[in-house]
Structure 1
Amino acid sequence: MRFESEIELLSRAQEAEGMSFYEIDRTGRIDNEKAKGHLGQIIEESFFGYEVNSNAEADFAELGIELKVTPVKELKNGQLSAKERLVLNIIDFHKEALNSFEDSSFWRKNESLLLMFYKWLPDIPRGNYRILKSHLHRFSESDLQVIRNDWSIIVAKIKAGQAHLISEGDTAYLGACTKGANRKSIRTQPFSPEPAMQRAFSLKASYMTTLIRELITAEHLVPIAEPDELQQKSLGQLLSDRFKKYEGMAVEDIAKEADAPLNTKSKSFLPLFVSSLLGVKGTSLEDIEEFSKANIKFKTVRLEPDGKPKEHMSFHTINFQEWINEEWETSLLRTMFEETKYLLVVFGYQETLRENPDRNLYFKGVHLWNMPMEEIEGRLKDFWLEGRAILEEGVLLKKTNRGISNNLPGPQSNGLCHVRPRARNAGDRIILPDGQPITKQAFWIDREYIGEITKKLK
């Protein structure tokens, strides 16, 4: 089936809205539950009437439009979310390093996307999944500037002989995700003898979720950057510049200048501080467009005069049953740090608490950080493997004067991270894989490591 115009193509795609894959399929592919990617192939063959292929050009070559069929899931709170990232085309490290953005395989293939969203539901035959929305997507000027920068970051690593160190956390909207997780998925790279995992360009799940929020549930997100700003600066540089005028100021003085009542002991302190200084006071941080698309999370860092925070930095509560059963490549810990950026909002004290119980808190700056891939595949992986080995052997619990100790990796055990309790009270417990009860534990980054990250703000 050949389409003469974009309008004709989109009109045809919109006819699928509300239809199930059982109703669309004419090939019998839907009965092969184990075959990945077949839902997209069903749309290609049965709905649009063209043969499945692996051509370098876009699917609807006459219009320069690529078809992507992608799942949407419903969260416990009723909100819709992308189920996964949108995988685009495989990256040829040797060829991509020779291209400009305009000549890149990413841009030639994905400049225009026909997105067909379907509702994913657990525990039902996938033939019952239904098409929710068809949308012809072209990147806004602001998005395109961020994506250009993301592409440049990926290619710069290839040119530096670091294709094996590419991480999705390096970039904001456009990722380079691993494609396959076995020896056959290893590729050579042009500027290093080090083998690298096969990767594909992808739009991050956070980017796709934001698109779903705008298209399907009509949520309004607030941008903080103009396209011309993003032409000159990366998102990280832009954020740093927005906060720069307040660096070195006491929080009380910032509150007066920004006209924002800031209570540093309140849970709402950080969101109010960030939104006020960005000029979008009253806006939830999740509703800031750039933060939502780039999956940027926020962490407060309060440095003591010695340049280190007093406390370690907490992350998610640990599900030990998942830890013992998952594989490293798809583990929650690896995925979290590879796919997430953190905006560290850094404050500092000039005096110790003993020197001055009423000491002032000063703003030092912001730092957009993601864990480097060499750290993820180094100390983080070692920690994960050590923890799983202990779980498989059985955790040793010992009664002490201070409570119950365990032999899970503790502070300073590896210089990066550790396990320690995070519970409202000692009775807040979970069950270990070996059946023993233990106070709820969380994953923490060592305070010394956080101090090293924030040194560059001095």
Structure 2
Amino acid sequence: MTTPQSESQLLHRAHQLAGLRLAEVATEYNIQMPTDLKRHKGWVGMLLETALGAEAGSKAQQDFAALGIELKTIPVNQHGYPLETTFVSLAPLSQNSGVVWQNSHVRYKLQKVLWIPVEGERQIALSDRRIGSPILWQPSAEQEARLAQDWEELMDLIVLGGLHKINARIGEVLQLRPKGANSKALTMGYDHNGQAIKTLPLGFYLRKSFTAEILQKFCSTSTL
């Protein structure tokens, strides 16, 4: 699938996917479907990136950089409520001098997001899960203020050597959690004495309550 040349073309493609089962899309693009997501956590996102013509892959840029749009698939229950937190980006644990909210990677990734809800309840076979209607979202001034406040609080802990104080309870809409395949995937950080240490990579995640707010604002009934 070629990269969409306009926002309207991207939305048209996304609307065409709405209502389809994952197996139908996988068959169309000749993509092998796993039986479940236990060892294939990012598979649904990869499938929809392919179907929509996303260009970023594993790069740090937005999925549709020319359009300034990030793609986020989100598993939901039958009431359209998110079943998982949403990964945004890795936290800069070192070389973060001069990083402020305005030039942060989190803000860059969340400037404009194409949300695609997908049925995610475990009793539904992966092949039978349906794709929901797309939602193109930009944070309101109030939402961005909340995101910025959490980001600044969490980054202060990182910059001031408070890595040991960080836990998933901090932050109203954003949280920091370990992001790595295993406990051996360490990165560089700093302790409270400014000494370099090896630590787990941390990722910024949107809380389910915040993404539910986004989805419910656009959908007065079921998301799917």
Q: Which residue of 2 aligns with 1:71?
A: 75
Q: How many residues align?
A: 214
Identity, % of aligned pairs? 24
Q: Which residue of 2 aligns with 1:35?
A: 40
Q: How far apart in 2 are the matches of 1:32 and 1:52?
A: 26
Q: Do 1:21 and 1:129's aligned partners in 2 also have CA atoms closer than 8 Å?
A: yes
RMSD of aligned C-alpha atoms?
2.2
Alpha carbons of 1:175 and 1:97: their partners in 2 closer, same or farther (altered >3 Å)?
Answer: farther
Instruction: Compare the two structures and name the one with the higher helix fraction.
Output: 1
Task: Kindly provide the CA deviation profile for residues 338-368 of structure 1, in whole angstroms up to 9, marking residues without a partner as x.
Answer: xxxxxxxxxxxxxxxxxxxxxxxxxxxxxxx
1:44-123 equivalence runs, <5 A: 44-45=49-50, 47-50=51-54, 53-74=57-78, 79-123=79-123
Question: Counterpart of 2:72 in 1: which secondary structure?
Answer: strand
2:173 equivalent to 1:169? no
Question: Counterpart of 2:63 in 1: which secondary structure?
Answer: coil
- TM-score by length of structure 1 reads 0.44
Q: Which residue of 2 aligns with 1:21?
A: 22
Q: Which residue of 2 aligns with 1:347?
A: none
Task: Kindly provide the CA deviation profile for residues 396-420 of structure 1, in whole angstroms up to 9, marking residues without a partner as x.
Answer: xxxxxxxxxxxxxxxxxxxxxxxxx
Instruction: Compare the two structures and name the one with the higher strand fraction.
Output: 1
Code of the aligned partner of 1:7: S
Alpha carbons of 1:165 and 1:2: their partners in 2 closer, same or farther (altered >3 Å)?
Answer: same
2:184 equivalent to 1:209? no
Q: Do 1:133 and 1:216's aligned partners in 2 also have CA atoms closer than 8 Å?
A: no
Larger radius of gyration: 1
> How far apart are residue 151 of structure 1 and its match?
0.9
Q: How far apart in 1 are the matches of 2:12 and 2:198?
A: 45
> How far apart are residue 5 of structure 1 and its match?
2.5
Alpha carbons of 1:165 and 1:27: their partners in 2 closer, same or farther (altered >3 Å)?
Answer: farther
The runs of 5 or more residues in structure 2 that have no matched partner are none
1:288-299 equivalence runs, <5 A: none
Question: Counterpart of 1:111 in 2: which secondary structure?
Answer: coil
Alpha carbons of 1:23 and 1:186: their partners in 2 closer, same or farther (altered >3 Å)?
Answer: same
> How far apart are residue 146 of structure 1 and its match?
0.9
The runs of 5 or more residues in structure 1 that have no matched partner are 220-458
Q: Which residue of 2 aligns with 1:198?
A: 201
Question: Counterpart of 2:143 in 1: which secondary structure?
Answer: helix
> How far apart are residue 133 of structure 1 and its match?
2.0
Q: How far apart in 1 are the matches of 2:184 and 2:137?
A: 33
